[in-house]
Amino acid sequence: MNIVLEIKNLHIGKVITNKALKDYTTYKVGGMPICITIPDGINELIKLLKYLRRNNIKYMILGNGSNVIFNDSGYNGVIIKLDNFNDLKIHKNKVYVGAGYMLNKLAMRLCRLGYTGLEFATGIPGTVGGAIYMNAGAYKSDMGYVVEKVKVLTPNYEIIELSNDEMNFHYRTSFLMKNKDYICLGATIVLLNGNPDVIMEIVNERKKRRLETQPLEYPSAGSVFRNPTNDFAGRLIEEIGYKGKSIGGAKVSEKHANFIINTGNAKGEDIKKLINDVKGKIKDKYNIELKVEQEFIE
């Protein structure tokens, strides 16, 4: 079976071949998938999913790749990107936004317009769909605080809306993370009116602090571990002397110990090894099981 040819013959939109996943992830790691697809719209997405499921072909919906780690040996499946699901409708303090819209771009736009509630997201380089899937957050807020309802495609190819309660948002998780056959298509977000000058002052101050304290000049995927109760993962990693520790091209940042950076030639396998090494050392020394915020994709 020539999967790529068969997918091309479905006429679902863009089909990209011979492109490594390192070009589609913020860690800049990952080998070749079977192909990368960008469906034109909902009908094309459904047609593609039916084909993949019928033929038992592995697939994954990929946002901006800002929280995933692929192996450099490749991904034996099809990547689906929802870049064309990028509508944006602003009506008073309610916003409908497609899953493929970049979250940080959305947050900046709404903050400048004087809407408050999404300030926390201005530094999160993921798509809206990816952020909802994992309930992304920062500064003691997350998507669960602002999302009113989520438009999803069910495993039976129905388009339904799930309420905030049905989404079951908790710290870095949601209904979608536990039910991967449901696909986020978009969401309605509710914000409050505020003073644009005050809002942008907060946003700019936080940006300045991020630049000073985080290794944003290197490819990474943000914080690697969740903070344990009443403590900080970064502090624990510093305590075991792991700032600057490296495996291959993966390195624990000397600027912020809860970041692992790609110094230029890291493989996905290097990052995974380093994460597991840190995890093991913390467990041995403090009997604390650090939870990884990033997803390992096999």
Instruction: Give, as one character, the DSSP assignment of residue 136.
Output: -
Residue in 102, 120, 105, 93 with CA at minimum distance from that of residue 202: 120
pTM of the model: 0.95
User: Of 66, 109, 119, 293, which is the active-site residue?
Assistant: 293
Does residue 210 carry a catalytic annotation?
Answer: no
Given 166, 172, 226, 246, the catalytic residue: 172
Could you tell me which CATH class the domain 215-297 is placed in? alpha beta
DSSP three-state, residue 183? strand
Residues of the chain whose pLDDT is less than 70? none
Minimal CA–CA distance to 160: which of 151, 169, 149? 151
**Residues 267-297 pLDDT 10s:** 999 999 999 999 999 999 999 999 999 999 9
- Catalytic residue status for 223: yes
Q: Are 215 and 200 spatial neighbours (Cβ–Cβ below 8 Å)?
A: no
Query: What's the pLDDT at 252?
Result: 98
> Any idea of the CA torsion for 266, 268, 270, 274, to the nearest 10 degrees?
120
As a CATH number, domain 88-198 is 3.30.465.10
Alpha helical stretches, state H, the chain? 3-8, 42-54, 103-112, 128-134, 164-167, 175-178, 196-213, 233-239, 268-286
Per-residue pLDDT at 16: 98
- Domain extent listing, the chain: 3-80, 88-198, 215-297
* CA neighbor of 190 nearest in space, from 229, 232, 143, 158: 143
DSSP conformational letter for 226: P
Cβ-contact 164, 144 below 8 angstroms: yes
Q: What is the pLDDT of residue 1?
A: 75
Closest CA to 172 of 260, 293, 275, 25: 293
Told to judge if 174 belongs to the known catalytic residues of this protein, a careful annotator would answer no
Class of the CATH domain delimited by 3-80: alpha beta
Give 173-180 contacts, CB < 8 A, sequence gap 24+.
173/134, 173/135, 174/132, 174/133, 174/134, 174/135, 174/143, 174/144, 176/132, 176/133, 176/150, 176/152, 177/133, 177/134, 177/135
CA 35 to chain CA centroid, Å, is 20
Q: Determine the pLDDT at residue 276.
A: 98
Measured CA to CA, the distance from residue 66 to residue 263 in angstroms comes to 17
Distance in angstroms (rounded) separating the CA atoms of residues 43 and 65: 24
233-280 pLDDT per residue, tens? 999 999 999 999 999 999 999 999 999 999 999 999 999 999 999 999
Closest of 30, 31, 99 to residue 61, by C-alpha: 99
Please tell me the predicted confidence (pLDDT) of residue 258.
98
CA pair distance 43, 59, nearest whole angstrom: 17
Contact 63/44 with Cβ under 8 angstroms? no
